[in-house]
A = this chain, B = another copy of it.
């Protein structure tokens, strides 16, 4: 939903700005009473894409990893409406890689459009699964995340 009424804190980005694009499908139940993807669903697409990138590269084991990423901050700015049955691509980029936390810039694209429908941020802090205390990002995760820090793929 584009609006001149407010000063957006983000602007719609292009797919080329993201080193990684994760394809996802929408669901009938994603549409709300106004017939568009409910704003909440975008966040579900964000954490699905982030975790899938980690899982696809073998650096996260949901049931067993001793150190896991917990979400401590997210945000999203919405530019255009989406609706089931739109096919989606989620853009991933790492904008801050600390000792125990990582912040991704995330963007939601309709698969057939180059301009983002929404742009957000997603911060994981890594914690020990048992003690719940911050822990250093595991080396295999860090190596993978480093590849998302750079600019877009050639």
Q: Which residue of B lies closest to A63 (CB)?
A: B35
Q: Residues of B contacting A77 with CB < 8 Å?
A: 72-73
A99 to chain B, nearest CB (A): 7
- Chain copies in the assembled complex: 4
Q: Which residue of B lies closest to A125 (CB)?
A: B3
What are 14 sample pairs from A and B whose C-beta atoms fall under 8 A apart? A1-B71, A3-B125, A5-B100, A5-B125, A9-B73, A23-B25, A28-B38, A35-B62, A40-B44, A40-B47, A56-B85, A62-B83, A73-B75, A73-B77
A28-71 interface (Cβ within 8 A of B): 28-29, 31-35, 38-41, 43-45, 47-48, 51-52, 55-56, 62-63, 68, 70-71
A31 with B32: CB separation less than 8 A: yes
A134 with B5: CB separation less than 8 A: yes
Whether a CB of chain B sits under 8 angstroms from the CB of A153 is no
* Interfacial residues, chain A to chain B (CB-CB below 8 A): 1, 3-6, 8-9, 23-29, 31-35, 38-41, 43-45, 47-48, 51-52, 55-56, 62-63, 68, 70-78, 83-85, 98-101, 123, 125, 127, 129, 132, 134
Q: Residues of B contacting A56 with CB < 8 Å?
A: 85
Cα–Cα distance between A146 and B128 once the two chains are bound (Å):
41
Q: Which residue of B lies closest to A62 (CB)?
A: B33
CB within 8 A of A29: which of B25, B47, B63, B129? B47
Cα–Cα distance between A78 and B75 once the two chains are bound (Å):
11
